[in-house]
A and B are shown apart, each in its own frame.
Chain A
Amino acid sequence: MPRRRRALNGVIREGVKMFKRFRVALPILQILLALIAYGMPKVNTNLEFDISMFALRDVVTKMNFPVLVVLSPLLYLLDRISRNFPPATGVYFIVVAVIGGVVLMAVIGGFWYLVILEIDLRRHGQSFIRFNNRIAQIVTVVIMLCLGLGSIVYSYIYLRGVVYFRPAQAVLGAICLLAWGLFFLRLSLTDARYVFGTSRKAAM
């Protein structure tokens, strides 16, 4: 096993120990929040309660903004394609809905697991989204830069759009988006330095 890979495995093991509770607790918390936000409006029919739950759902969606970015095109395509087929009903509907729900929760849980893992790895100078291939690394940096800038711009647009009539929801949602923006900007800038540093060494 190459030294670099062994060192990475060691860091992962150490990080896993240190962040064990957090690594498990945060994805579970996110899944529970998503279950409450998406599930409760189907149970309670009181209008004011519904509206408050919808607001929570909006904040939870902003909290999982990167997941939304990844899933949105897929959901849009599924929605468009399904117009050509008869709507799912009966047992078929239940099976597809259960599978869809499980996948959605698994994606949210898995995403938060990876976020904690990446933060932990970076604390030790490692990362699972850094590549030796320079082109792959540049692509990753560009994607993260776009996500970071996109999140910040979106937080401004979102805040400006709803702050006057849903102030609490607007502030919470915008904070989530801004946090993601800063997170991805920091990752992209750090990795950009890493790419340039590597290239300078290689040039020398």
Chain B
Amino acid sequence: MQQQWFPPLEQCKSRPGCLEPYEAINNALNDLVNRLQDPKIVAHDQGGNPLTLASLAQSGIFDKLGTDANGNGLTTASFIRYLTSTKPGFFDGTKSTYCFDVLLCGGKCYENAVLNFLLNGDSVEKYFREHSDTAVTGTPSHPLITFVRPSSVLYNSAGKNRGNESLIFHEALHGITGRYDRFTIPVPQGILEKLGYSTNDPSCMIDVAIWDAVLSHSQGLDATTSSCP
């Protein structure tokens, strides 16, 4: 049973260069990190000072969120370290029997069916069956642990596109800050509120904010993405 807690995303094995969700997401991750590390000037502020993608991410996203889950100031450098120091885990959420409550709130995930029923909530797989979310992330999680809906992975430009990179950026924000999308009693300010959106706005507005503030300034990034109402 435990083997199904973290089922891997489908991986390409048939021929070199083929693309399945595993390759698409990992290509997107590498491309996102490369773009954030790129020292190339992508814009200028009102005073004419040059801005890199990292500085845009700092002012547009990280300064607004403030601190990570340990209370340390959130920076583009710490975000890149978070994504590179230990390889993030991307798993198939539609197949995982891992405890959804443990993923979001910590604790122990019991394998025994009765103990699991009495002391844990639903499984990640059941959550994906009953909700339309594209991904769910350990909040917080070190390293990043994200369960993805494979059908939401986009294949344009070998996975290196706006949709996938916004998704990774968005989920990594949960992992590094411990903040949920929106208001909850234990965490009164979610990412949406911190970024200036309303509690009632859809979660995909976080992806929109990431695109508007950061990724849209990065040259050559495939703009393919899923629709956001």
Interface residues of A (CB under 8 A from B): 38, 41-42, 45, 47-48, 50-52, 54-55, 57-58, 75, 78-79, 82-83, 87-89, 93, 96-97, 100-101, 104, 162-166, 168-169
Contact = CB atoms under 8 A, between A and B. Distances in A.
B228 interface: no
A104 B115 CA distance: 11
Given A54-B104, A100-B118, A166-B178, A79 B110 contact: yes
Contacts of A88: 113-114
B49 interface: no
A157 to B, nearest CB: 13
Contacts of A52: 184-186
Contact of A169 (B67, B70, B186): B186
A51 B118 contact: no
Interface in B154-196: 177-188
A51 B127 CA distance: 13
A99 to B, nearest CB: 9
B71 interface: yes
A162 B69 CA distance: 7
Q: Would you call the interface of chain B mostly helix, strand, loop, or mixed?
A: loop
A83 B111 contact: yes
Nearest to B68: A164
A108 B121 CA distance: 20
Given A38-B119, A54-B121, A164-B69, A48 B114 contact: no
Given A47-B131, A55-B185, A87 B1 contact: yes
Nearest to B100: A50
A124 B182 CA distance: 52
Nearest to A54: B105
A41 B119 CA distance: 10
A25 B76 CA distance: 53
Contacts of A104: 118
B93 interface: no
A54 B139 CA distance: 13
A165 B104 contact: no
B201 to A, nearest CB: 13
Contacts of B178: 162, 164-166
B107 interface: yes
A41 B118 CA distance: 11
Given A55-B186, A165-B69, A165-B187, A50 B121 contact: yes
Contacts of A54: 101, 104-105, 121, 186
Contacts of B118: 38, 97, 100-101, 104
B101 A168 contact: no
A55 B105 contact: yes
A96 B116 CA distance: 12
B101 A50 contact: yes
A164 B70 contact: yes
Contacts of B119: 38, 75
5 contacts: A47-B131, A48-B184, A79-B115, A163-B71, A165-B139
Contact of B188 (A87, A97, A162, A168): A168
The 5 closest A-B pairs by CB, nearest first: A165-B178, A55-B186, A54-B105, A164-B71, A52-B185
